[in-house]
Amino acid sequence: MTNYEFQKAAQKRLDDVWAKLHTRVQGRAFTTPNLTFDLRSSTSAGQAIDGGKTIRMNMGYVREHAQELLDRTIAHEAGHCWLYAVKDPSHYKDTYTRMADAEAISFGVRKRRSKRSVHGYAFQEVMRFLGVDESRCHKMGKSEFAKLRKTVPYKCSKCGHLYNLSTVIANKIARGQQRYHPSCGTSSRLVRA
């Protein structure tokens, strides 16, 4: 399946899922979330953002897992967007609750964190209604973007152990931050190999 074919199929799947979710409510219409294909994470297949108004999809999984993305990931993220839209407490905090939280914090009162879970009972109920696996994580491994990640060779200045570090860690070392080296058990200086 080409990327273009996948994008068309993904939009159709989202429209179908959203229409099925609308059968749960009478007399209310919710806007279908926007679908973008700009997520470049190494492990996330999809993401619901902007208070459920946008779904981001990872094109790095399309070549090997297009059908699973269409069947499961689109429905999973649409479920999150739906719970935002219907203002389910697991996904949505109203203005009154936010103001009460801010007021309590301003008076120095520490509130216990509420036990909200975005993958809790309400989400699982939506997934059952859609006939989709309720699990939180996919089993597709890493996307193609993870394979494109650049590494920089470094070695420990004490024991000489070689590492292939990500560019983020390599940049931190270049700025002078020391790293703990588990092999020799010290906080030694890593040098470029």
User: pLDDT (tens digit, 9 = 90+) per residue, 48-64?
Assistant: 998 889 999 988 888 88
pLDDT at 98: 53
pLDDT at 160: 77
User: pLDDT (tens digit, 9 = 90+) per residue, 9-32?
Assistant: 999 999 999 999 998 887 888 999
- The dihedral through the CA atoms of 54, 18, 72, 59 has a sign that is negative
User: pLDDT (tens digit, 9 = 90+) per residue, 90-133?
Assistant: 877 665 555 555 555 555 555 555 556 788 888 999 999 999 98
User: pLDDT (tens digit, 9 = 90+) per residue, 30-48?
Assistant: 999 999 999 887 778 889 9
pLDDT of 80 above 90: yes
Q: Rounded to an integer, what distance in angstroms lies between the CA atom of residue 36 and that of residue 135?
A: 23
Can you give the residue ranges of every domain in the chain? 3-144, 150-192
CB 87 within 8 A of CB 52: no
Burial annotation 59-97 (CB, 10 A radius, 16+ → b, else e): bbbbeebbebbbebbbbbbbbbbbbbbbebebbeeeeee
pTM of the model: 0.68
